[in-house]
Structure 1
Amino acid sequence: MSVLHHKPMDILGLKQDIVKNFQRKIDERNHDKAKWMTEENLERVSACPICGSSTQHADAIMDLTNTRYVCCRQCQHVYLLKRLTRDALERYFKSDLNVNCMYADPEISQKRIEEVAKPKLNWAIDQYKNQYGEVPESILDIGSGAGHFVQAAREYGLAADGIEISESSRTDCKKLFGFDLINTNFYESDLDLTQYDLITFWGVLGLIYSPTDMLSKAFDCLRHSEKGMLIASVPKWNSFGTSVQNIHTDTIIRHMNVLGHIHIYSESSLATAFVNAGFSPCGAWYYGMDIYEFLMQLSYLSNIPSLPEKTAQYINPLQMTIDHAGLSDEIALAGTI
């Protein structure tokens, strides 16, 4: 299996709104948690969402307001003990503008394509070429947000479509790039989605109610292709970023965020999910924003707002070390049918 480490980028440029308004982002996230993490919206999880092992055999590893993250002893998957119900989760992602607005700023849209979407596309194409000796003819991106990855694929010359349930994100995509994303729930969709060679889940499997159902649906779509491939990126538990956030849980706005990530993966749980759905893992990519997270938290807790900008030159070199050690807060996995 091929393994790649690191993805350099101008993280402060991409996250400039958060860097300048970190306190406001914390307040917005806490407001959202108070609004949504209520008893009527929550349900207790009785078994690991990946391997099915009883939650009685899971260890508590991070306590948060109204819930906690637990780790499955069988596959090392990390998940919320109490999470939003399927209905509440879908309503949250359909209606909450704070989830999507950060990705729709026209001023940084092209920067996001160049520094985030295109590196992901290039890695996906490389994985496909390694297995099949050619470029995929068609791509379906699930949970496309404002459509940056789909736009990058189209600029490359590929037939690419995206699925997005958020109305505001679909509107942003139309405004930014001039095309429509498909408005459907991928898992429940009765549309014919069997014409694609490559299906991607960039940052989606940490958000959704049942990742195993989504992966099985993807396999059903791709099994009609002789050269089908799935790619998914997920938040990773065993990371430097996790350790930073575990020290002070009141200022979390990303990664170990109970509204954004109800699943946090280990290499074991991600591989288990792929294999159980019928995919054979063939490539992995370690990258993340751990150093950015460390500097943002240190800046906030020490009341030195200029710290991230003053240390910007060290972010990529230090992140590269984290990524090569396998301690990044994100991992992408490719798998063939």
Structure 2
Amino acid sequence: MNDVVIKEHDLDLERLVQPPISETFGKTVDIFSLKSVEQSVCGGTCSKEPVVVIHGGKYLQCGECTHLHVGNGLTEEELSEHYKESQKYAATYTNPEKAQLRVNQVATPKAEWMLKVYRDLHGNILQDPNVLDVGAGGGHFVKACRDMNLQVEGIELSRPSISFAKNVFNIELSNRDFLGVSADEVKNPRLITFWGVIEHVKDPVAMLKKANDLLKDEPGMVVASVPNFRSGSTIIQMMYPDTAVRHIGPIEHGNIFTEKSISRSFEKASITPTHAWYFGMDAYEIWTQLVTCGRVKSQDFSVDGFMSDFDRIRESLGIAGGVSQEVRGLVTKLTSLKDSGDFSEALDLLPKLQLAFDEERASDEITLAGIPSSEQM
């Protein structure tokens, strides 16, 4: 992972930027037939032609803030119904056998980073903040916060996820629409989190504005974790768009962010970015596409051919060539093991590969923390 403290003169992440089917609520959706819509976080003009097409979802890019959205996506009402009732979507986060593992390995590091940043920003505050986790899923992050003795509450639309949190963690999540929550209905939150949430909604900025409103300009912080377009996962999914499983997906991830667009989203919500954290699952995504999907076993697969396509897309995304050496090392190792079919010897290469993406700020997830603009220090 790569943790970046944004200095005062670099508060605008634009300075850091390098140029730049599916089943829902029990119904099969023909995404090719969905109506195209204009949508950007800054109000700019989007491209007419898609920048990337995944499972038929056509992602258009704003020419100003570089944000991407799926042009032929679901309506707001359809999305809401999907998240309320979808057992299939909730299953991603509600495996009881892996619940504590997810708390320990995923949720707890996020909670620790969040609290460290909050204390860095508000070191004069003696009491730890009340936390409001929006889109709490199965309650893993809420559980991690409680284990750290933080006061925390979670909001979640998915009924299957709410049941999971109650049954597994004995945590009561509130089944409410965040945009409709009043200040009287929450416990004076000083820290509001969106872990993989705002990419799912039609209006990400509205969610951030609501968070800012609830903070009431008192010492507080907003954290949002979003998919990063300029990433290793994007490269491999552009190479193999019909087998993408996570990261870019036209039903759930209607928004894909860049450093510039998540920064612009915060600014539109009157939130000043202060800290960024880069971590992802790019190495896992590459492994999945090559090993799980069986491509590396194909007779016509070649390391040079793969790397030629990989580097072409990498360069188009403005990602430095440092990651290519690590990728080539993994692919070469996998190719040497394909006759035996036992790829376990290559697993130890994945952490080093992921670190290369994280250090290039090319991991598939960006977490941005910020404070209400009136709080600028």
**Shorter-chain TM-score: which interval?**
0.7 to 0.9
Q: What is the match of residue 335 of structure 1?
A: 370
Q: Secondary structure at the match of 1:218?
A: helix
Runs of 4+ in 1 over 3 A off after TM superposition: 29-43, 64-67, 302-310
1:123 equivalent to 2:117? Answer no
Q: What is the match of residue 89 of structure 2?
A: 99
Q: CA shift at 1:310, angstroms?
A: 3.8
Match of 1:200 among 161, 177, 193: 193
Q: What is the match of residue 72 of structure 2?
A: 82
1:278 equivalent to 2:313? Answer no
- Structure-2 separation of matches of 1:144 and 1:265: 21
Q: What is the match of residue 296 of structure 2?
A: 302
Q: What is the match of residue 3 of structure 1?
A: 4
Cα deviation digits, residues 68-104 of structure 1 (max 9, x gap): 0111110010111111100000111111111111322
For 1:287-298, list aligned pairs within 5 A.
Answer: 287-298=279-290
What one-letter code is carried by the residue in structure 1 that aligns with 2:192? I
For 1:150-189, list aligned pairs within 5 A.
Answer: 150-189=142-181
Match of 1:261 among 253, 259, 271: 253
Q: Closer, same or farther in 2 for the Cα pair 1:33/1:93, shift >3 Å?
A: closer
Q: CA shift at 1:289, angstroms?
A: 0.4
Unaligned runs of 5+ in 1: 5-28
- Decide whether the 8 Å contact of 2:22 with 2:29 is kept in 1: no
Match of 1:240 among 226, 232, 240: 232
What one-letter code is carried by the residue in structure 1 that aligns with 2:4? V
Q: CA shift at 1:30, angstroms?
A: 4.2
Q: What is the match of residue 51 of structure 1?
A: 42
Name which of structure 1's ranges 96-105 and 137-146 shifts more when overlaid on structure 2.
96-105
Count of aligned pairs = 309
- Decide whether the 8 Å contact of 2:232 with 2:357 is kept in 1: yes
Q: What is the match of residue 249 of structure 1?
A: 241
- Structure-1 separation of matches of 2:87 and 2:289: 24
Q: CA shift at 1:306, angstroms?
A: 5.9
Q: Secondary structure at the match of 1:280?
A: strand
- Decide whether the 8 Å contact of 1:59 with 1:72 is kept in 2: no
Cα deviation digits, residues 248-297 of structure 1 (max 9, x gap): 11111100111121000000000000011011100000000001000110
Q: Closer, same or farther in 2 for the Cα pair 1:233/1:61, shift >3 Å?
A: same
Q: What is the match of residue 22 of structure 1?
A: none
Q: Secondary structure at the match of 2:81?
A: helix
Q: What is the match of residue 100 of structure 2?
A: 110
Q: Closer, same or farther in 2 for the Cα pair 1:41/1:125, shift >3 Å?
A: farther
Q: Closer, same or farther in 2 for the Cα pair 1:332/1:180, shift >3 Å?
A: same
Q: Closer, same or farther in 2 for the Cα pair 1:185/1:309, shift >3 Å?
A: farther
Q: In angstroms, what is the RMSD of aligned CA positions? A: 2.3
Q: Closer, same or farther in 2 for the Cα pair 1:35/1:309, shift >3 Å?
A: farther
- Structure-2 separation of matches of 1:275 and 1:145: 27
Q: What is the match of residue 348 of structure 2?
A: 313
Q: Secondary structure at the match of 2:251?
A: coil
For 1:35-74, list aligned pairs within 5 A.
Answer: 35-38=27-30, 42-48=34-40, 50-55=41-46, 57=47, 60-74=50-64
What one-letter code is carried by the residue in structure 2 that aligns with 1:315? L
Name which of structure 1's ranges 185-194 and 230-239 shifts more when overlaid on structure 2.
185-194
- Structure-1 separation of matches of 2:65 and 2:98: 39
What one-letter code is carried by the residue in structure 2 that aligns with 1:312? L
Question: Percent of counterpart pairs with the same letter?
Answer: 33
- Structure-2 separation of matches of 1:209 and 1:309: 41
Q: Secondary structure at the match of 2:245?
A: coil
TM-score in terms of structure 2 length: 0.77
Match of 1:216 among 205, 209, 233: 209
Q: What is the match of residue 323 of structure 1?
A: 358
- Decide whether the 8 Å contact of 2:132 with 2:189 is kept in 1: yes
Q: Closer, same or farther in 2 for the Cα pair 1:40/1:255, shift >3 Å?
A: closer
Name which of structure 1's ranges 305-314 and 192-201 shifts more when overlaid on structure 2.
305-314
Name which of structure 1's ranges 240-249 and 190-199 shifts more when overlaid on structure 2.
190-199
- Structure-1 separation of matches of 2:134 and 2:84: 14
Q: CA shift at 1:223, angstroms?
A: 1.8
What one-letter code is carried by the residue in structure 2 that aligns with 1:208? V
Q: Closer, same or farther in 2 for the Cα pair 1:255/1:268, shift >3 Å?
A: same
- Decide whether the 8 Å contact of 2:31 with 2:73 is kept in 1: no
Q: CA shift at 1:34, angstroms?
A: 10
Cα deviation digits, residues 35-65 of structure 1 (max 9, x gap): 45347994422231x001133x465211245
- Decide whether the 8 Å contact of 2:55 with 2:241 is kept in 1: no
TM-score in terms of structure 1 length: 0.86
Cα deviation digits, residues 200-220 of structure 1 (max 9, x gap): 000001111210111111111
Q: CA shift at 1:333, angstroms?
A: 0.2
Q: Closer, same or farther in 2 for the Cα pair 1:111/1:34, shift >3 Å?
A: closer
What one-letter code is carried by the residue in structure 2 that aligns with 1:203? G
